[in-house]
Structure 1
Amino acid sequence: MTVNPSKVALSWISRFGKALESGDVNATVYSLHTDGYFRDILVFSWDNRCLHGDANLTAYLTGALDKVSIRGVKLETRGGLTPQYGPLSDKLSLRAVSAGFTFTCAVGVGRGYFYLISTDSGEWKALVVMMALADIKGHEEIENELGVYGDHTLAWTNVLQERQRAIESDPHVLIIGAGQTGLNVAARFKQMGIKTLVVEANPRVGDNWRKRYPTLSLQSPKKSNSMLYQEYPRTWPVFAPRDKLADWLEQYAQSQDLVVWTDSQPLPHPIYDNFTKQWAVVVDRAGEHVTLHPAHIVVASTFGAPRIPALPKQDGFKGPVFHASAYQSGKPFTGKKVVVVGGGNTAADICQNLVFHGAQSITMVQRSSTWILSRDSARVMFERVFPEEVDIDISDLIAMAYPMNLMRKMDEETVEQAMEEQKTTQQGLAEAGFKIRAGKDFLTLWYEGSGGYCKAVRNPPVPVADVWSIALDVGCSALISSGKVKIKQGVELAELNTDSVLFTDGSSLEADVVIFATSYENIGDTMRKTLLGDEIMDRVGPVWGLDEEGELQGCYRPTGQPGLWFAAGHFYVSRAFSKPLALAIKAIELGLMEV
């Protein structure tokens, strides 16, 4: 069958737009497939929602469609968003017509994206529709300034200093954490006219990367890891090394004119005033206590505190015992017997480094199972979503359109193919005793984990079988298959003796060093213990992970505690969802959204 994607898309958007503009809920719902997904980012409610099925969507739109007043629905003309026809997924035969569109609504302008599939009757309907608020009228995001100030009478240095003073004396938002997430959010807020101060506990911006092991590099290609408004140089490595990324973040804060206090952190416990709608928060700024009254606090961190199991007789162990976050090199452990607890990326990188530096023996304790994906396969996957030739904001819009619950369904059909592609590698791992996780796709685990490559497990502790890991293979699989890295599978450490570790199955192993690559606490749990306390965090509920609709829990959306927000996840997540977060805060400021 020959398909003209422009004709199909134009016909559908005309019907869909007419239904929206007339407030006809039934006609709007009819435009979607009966198994379709409708993702709403701040258009029909001040939240991120994803409705599946006719009944749910009908209930959601009833009463809301008239109030929103959708107008001017039309196809996008920007490159990368014009109609095209192709496979819905690289592993599925199902093909779809996709395109972007724009519209206006009562409060501003919006952007959307859709995937159309042909029904048995030959009618084209939407399997996916995403509509997102892009800007509030009169408060649009600024692209850039002219660069001439006071009719060419003011120097830029003086202008910048005055802006910094205004923010430091009275920030509207306090962001905790100057990693890539905090900086992306701060950069977005700045362009949205939201006075934002960032506090960072480390002495320098980028230290959250500098303090990790030196051989660390990003496991996804640089395009997907771009910062807002400022992509990496074309000459950069495809997989950015730790120190290059750290230095990039430091210069990014400066080039984006962000106001960051380093060597600074808020003290327990901030108090929210329900009458003034402001926080009273004391910040320890290099030993000086400064009281601030922001309207909003954004906790911008993916990870909480390192998870280090407390084991019996640990104090009696003769060698070092530490978390992977403190690992710097395998050189001090040349000739040593090392036990690495964990089966994810960090554990694999550490084991590989220990082999390079000549450790006598290396045993990886894989407590449960691991989803393995080769770095080459991951690169292909990410570059398909974030192609070099497409502007990153367009790629982000398209990625935002894809519902996670649909991706979960597609997992069931694609996982066997993914396993088959890596059959040789996985066979060698299995023969070495390494357990492969099956039944879920990499991207699903990527979202269900902490926005990357490990799972920040919530309290109370979960069974070993539920503590899965993700690893992108950059060489450790071959070391496991060859026996240079041995596997102890399906057990936990029970206790440490003077020169050995005892496992829960009763076996033991001689050891000189124990390294826990056991991930991190959920950031909500750490905030409960260290900063915000039980009363506030009891209102917040889960932070990270996916809710029933496939939306992130507690991140980039209202948390239940007025004035408190969480931001976390991969570079893409903070790039894309910093905009809805900024719009929500701006809407509260303008009285459009209730606190």
Structure 2
Amino acid sequence: MANQLVLPTLDDLKSSVAPDVNVQAVAIKNVTAVLDLLVDDVFWRDILALTWDFHTFQSTPSVKKFLADQLPLFTLSSFKLRNDLVELQRPYPDIAWIQAFFDFETTVGIASGVFRLVPLADGSWKAHTVFTNLENLKGFPEQNGHRRDYQSNHGKWAAKRAREIECVDEEPSVVVIGGGQSGLDVAARLKMLGTKTLVVEKNERIGDNWRKRYAALCLHDPVWYDHMPYIPFPVSWPVYTPALKLADWLESYAHSMELDVWTSATVMSVIPGTKGKKWTVTVQRADRKERAFEVNHVVFALGSGMGQIPDIPGQDDFKGQMLHSSKHNLATDHAGKKVVVVGACTSAHDICADYADNGVDVTMVQRSPSYVMSTKEGMPRFMTIFWEGGPPTDVADRVNASYPEFDIAEADNFLTACEKRGFKTNLGDDDSGFLITALNGGGGYYLDVGASQMIIDGKIKLKSDGPISRFTQTGLLFEDGSTLEADVVVFATGYADARHSYRVLLPESLHDKLYPIWGLDKEGELNSIWREVGGRSKDAELNGIWCMMGDLALCRFHSRHLALQIKSHEEGIFGTRYQ
């Protein structure tokens, strides 16, 4: 079970909030001194700064052990409070804290932190949450801003870029498999750190991973949440981005950031390397010619993986068409037919809405409850820091990473109307809202952009009164004996284990070395994402095989962390991951 943050209500603290509070930065001298600044039920999250890993510690005993183990290994200095980012906040009437940012340095890194002070009964203020985060490596700054290239190319830029893309003069240190947002983000971060990186994309164009999905697809996250590193979306960008528009943006991003990308190229294998390198990566291009690269690092940025269709008896008896949502394209492909969509989360809602908008008879089959939040009521509350008028993106990212999200299902009164139509809802895993549900399983929720109202209005038919028993020749039979006629059955039922893509390319002898990917560990951290996927000791056989995935905001923020890990390995300054 992941750690649960217990909110510091004023009743629990038996105190009230004073309007004027003086905050002082206190230099860390020893474990006892630090613990004296924390409440007993403290929540401390560290990303790389003090652990070279992703860790969450809750309660004084857990934090005490972490600090006792790690503080002797790091020389911490240059603590400075960000006076412009100190704020008294009251997110709810009975909850209050002072949120503040600070900067500091470690032996090898430049780091930042966020803490929240809560008032105690004796009038003192102590930290209820602390977040420490590695920002940069000493001696290896990003090559941008005043460090950008000041040399004039005098008409040689195109030829220079062609040689760079083809890796004529310099072989890559890193191969990134996949040219979606996750692959492009980490490639951009590595380029800024001066690490030669090649992105290999199987599609003909960057952006095709969005361009070739179902036509009705759009982002359900708002624009302020979805910016990419270094180049934010224009101020005129729509709040919810259509997939085709995002596809074109990704293509332009790769060009503008001068990323080295091979399209229409396929990685054929990733095997233990030679010549002192960890991995040999063989790439086949459109002309069928192959080229092998010897590298220390391979980043798998392949997204969700293969579509998963449940094993329902009688599939061979069905006379209609059956497909996974990842293969669905246009609703008009099935004009005049009865369509059944199995599933009740994001893709299912999007596809059903597209069918309904195009006059196709569509029924959603809901097999288990879903968490639903409206973009009208819920999103402005849930994503306050990623909304119009919110803080700068880099500030919002760090606030977002520093504490769990709060459930806001009570704000969505329209759920009652959904439930009256028979749609089954829940409040997410452990009643924690959609975020934990999404991180645990990659689905289980829908951020409503209109399909819920279509269900309420009956434009999308709904069947949610029993499990599917089997296929018939003309549709589906349910365990309660009812049937549903269908010409087409679309399975919006998620994706297979993300490790499948790794097993396709890695030697079979390494398959059982892969750690789980996605889902939360006992601390509440994601398994393997933005780190190596097969053990993290110095002699682990899969060192140098990295996982990069997530939505646009997670990729934007954590691409920095993955790039810093690779860069520190390349420069020989990476420490030991805290176990």
2:517 to 543, 548, 561: 543
Residue deviations 1:331-381, cap 9 Å, x none? Answer: 23333221110001111121122222222x322110101111111134303
2:70 maps to 1:64? yes
The match for 1:9 is 23
The match for 2:433 is 441
The match for 1:148 is 150
2:33 maps to 1:27? yes
Distance 1:161 1:263, change over 3 A: closer
**Deviation of the 1:120 alpha carbon:** 2.2
Distance 1:579 1:471, change over 3 A: same
**Deviation of the 1:593 alpha carbon:** 2.4
The match for 2:104 is 103
The match for 1:459 is none
Q: Which segment is superposed worse, 270-279 or 196-205?
A: 270-279
2:498 maps to 1:523? yes
Give the distance between the partners of 1:274 and 1:154, measured in 2 at CA. Answer: 39
Q: Which segment is superposed worse, 333-342 or 518-527?
A: 518-527
2:549 maps to 1:568? yes
Check whether the contact 1:220–1:382 (CA below 8 A) recurs between aligned residues: no
Amino acid at match of 2:560: K
Give the distance between the partners of 1:562 and 1:510, measured in 2 at CA. Answer: 51
Give 1:74-223 correspondences, 5 Å limit: 74-77=80-83, 79=84, 82-87=85-90, 89=91, 91=92, 93-144=94-145, 145-149=147-151, 155-166=156-167, 170-223=171-224
Amino acid at match of 2:58: H
**Deviation of the 1:279 alpha carbon:** 0.3
The match for 2:243 is 242
Residue deviations 1:230-260, cap 9 Å, x none? Answer: 1111112111111110000000000000111
Check whether the contact 1:308–1:516 (CA below 8 A) recurs between aligned residues: yes
The match for 1:532 is 506
2:369 maps to 1:369? yes
Residue deviations 1:397-435, cap 9 Å, x none? Answer: 221222x4xx4xx54xxxxxx343323x22222222211
SS of corresponding position for 1:271:
strand
Give the distance between the partners of 2:109 and 2:202, measured in 1 at CA. Answer: 38
The match for 2:12 is none
1:558 to 508, 523, 532: 532
Amino acid at match of 2:476: V
Distance 1:154 1:223, change over 3 A: same
The match for 2:8 is none
Give the distance between the partners of 1:558 and 1:274, measured in 2 at CA. Answer: 20
Amino acid at match of 1:8: N
**Any gaps of 5 or more consecutive residues in structure 2?**
1-15, 536-541
Give 1:214-233 correspondences, 5 Å limit: 214-233=215-234
Give the distance between the partners of 1:275 and 1:550, measured in 2 at CA. Answer: 39
SS of corresponding position for 1:240:
coil
Give 1:491-530 correspondences, 5 Å limit: 491-528=466-503, 530=504
Residue deviations 1:122-149, cap 9 Å, x none? Answer: 2111111111121111101222454432
Give the distance between the partners of 2:377 and 2:502, measured in 1 at CA. Answer: 36
2:421 to 426, 432, 435: 432
Check whether the contact 1:337–1:362 (CA below 8 A) recurs between aligned residues: yes
Check whether the contact 2:297–2:546 (CA below 8 A) recurs between aligned residues: yes
Superposition TM-score, scaled by structure 1 size? 0.87
Distance 1:301 1:30, change over 3 A: farther
Give 1:277-316 correspondences, 5 Å limit: 277-286=277-286, 287-316=288-317
Give the distance between the partners of 2:190 and 2:168, measured in 1 at CA. Answer: 12
Higher helix share: 1
Give the distance between the partners of 2:423 and 2:168, measured in 1 at CA. Answer: 53
Check whether the contact 1:149–1:156 (CA below 8 A) recurs between aligned residues: no
Amino acid at match of 2:280: A
2:396 maps to 1:422? no
Give the distance between the partners of 2:123 and 2:169, measured in 1 at CA. Answer: 60
Check whether the contact 2:274–2:280 (CA below 8 A) recurs between aligned residues: no
Check whether the contact 1:500–1:509 (CA below 8 A) recurs between aligned residues: yes
SS of corresponding position for 1:9:
coil
Distance 1:86 1:338, change over 3 A: same
Amino acid at match of 2:572: G
The match for 1:462 is none
Amino acid at match of 1:577: H
**Deviation of the 1:274 alpha carbon:** 8.9
Superposition TM-score, scaled by structure 2 size? 0.89
The match for 1:484 is 459
Q: Which segment is superposed worse, 495-504 or 545-554?
A: 495-504
**Deviation of the 1:275 alpha carbon:** 8.5
Distance 1:371 1:271, change over 3 A: same
SS of corresponding position for 1:303:
coil
The match for 1:415 is none
The match for 1:458 is none
Give the distance between the partners of 1:510 and 1:576, measured in 2 at CA. Answer: 46
Q: CA RMSD in A?
A: 2.3
SS of corresponding position for 1:250:
helix
Give 1:279-358 correspondences, 5 Å limit: 279-286=279-286, 287-358=288-359
SS of corresponding position for 1:198:
strand
2:57 to 26, 30, 51: 51
Give the distance between the partners of 2:203 and 2:470, measured in 1 at CA. Answer: 34
Give the distance between the partners of 1:65 and 1:59, measured in 2 at CA. Answer: 10
Residue deviations 1:197-230, cap 9 Å, x none? Answer: 1111111100111111212111111110011111
Amino acid at match of 2:433: D
Give the distance between the partners of 1:264 and 1:67, measured in 2 at CA. Answer: 44
Check whether the contact 1:187–1:256 (CA below 8 A) recurs between aligned residues: yes
Check whether the contact 2:271–2:507 (CA below 8 A) recurs between aligned residues: no
SS of corresponding position for 1:56:
helix
Check whether the contact 2:17–2:119 (CA below 8 A) recurs between aligned residues: no
Distance 1:139 1:147, change over 3 A: closer
SS of corresponding position for 2:232:
coil
Check whether the contact 2:190–2:567 (CA below 8 A) recurs between aligned residues: no
2:251 maps to 1:262? no
Amino acid at match of 1:174: V
The match for 1:414 is none
Distance 1:178 1:471, change over 3 A: same
The match for 2:272 is 272
2:579 maps to 1:579? no
Residue deviations 1:299-319, cap 9 Å, x none? Answer: 113301011234444234222
Give the distance between the partners of 1:427 and 1:401, measured in 2 at CA. Answer: 33
Percent identity reads: 35
Q: Which segment is superposed worse, 286-295 or 200-209?
A: 286-295
